[in-house]
Amino acid sequence: MTIQVGDRIPSTPLVKVGAEGPEQIGSDEYFAGRKVALFSVPGAFTPTCSAKHLPGFVEKADELKAKGIDEIACTAVNDAFVMGAWGQASGVDGKVTMLADGNGTFAKALGLELDGSAFGLGQRGQRYSVVVNDGVVEQLHVEAPGAFEVSSADYLLGRL
């Protein structure tokens, strides 16, 4: 079952990619006591994710924070080293926290997994954005397959 507005984020492991390298963190700990704009992409270094999705949140980081967002995070079913390299290559420079969901545990717990096997991608997470306030979902915007409309930084800004 897909997570809904008003639901609490389920407790799963994530790996936060920081300056000192990967650090294990629980989702309940990560989302506690603050407002986080999280967006999910099907994969690091993939075309739409690299050309539009991640860059949009990097470019709009200050505007999102001015609207009450404490932290912006990107997640994908990729390992922490890939997420770290993608963040570096994309110039996130502390504006977006890269969260690795290497085994897809978080995506599955949210009910937002994606079977990309037909494209050689295996199990991934869907493309979406969510606003989480102290562990509770305030907004959820899930894309239709192949679309990039409701999960962008601009779309989220318009709803804050």
| Amino acid of residue 80 | A
| Catalytic pick among 17, 49, 83, 142 | 49
* Helix H or strand E segment including 157: helix 153-157
The Cα–Cα gap between 136 and 9 comes to: 6
Whether 74 is a known active-site residue: answer no
| Amino acid of residue 123 | Q
- ∠ CA(58), CA(61), CA(64), 5° rounding? 145
How would you classify the pairing of strands 136-142 and 128-133? antiparallel
Token pair 């192949």 is at which residue? 146
The Cα–Cα gap between 27 and 14 comes to: 6
**Catalytic residue numbers, as ranges:** 49
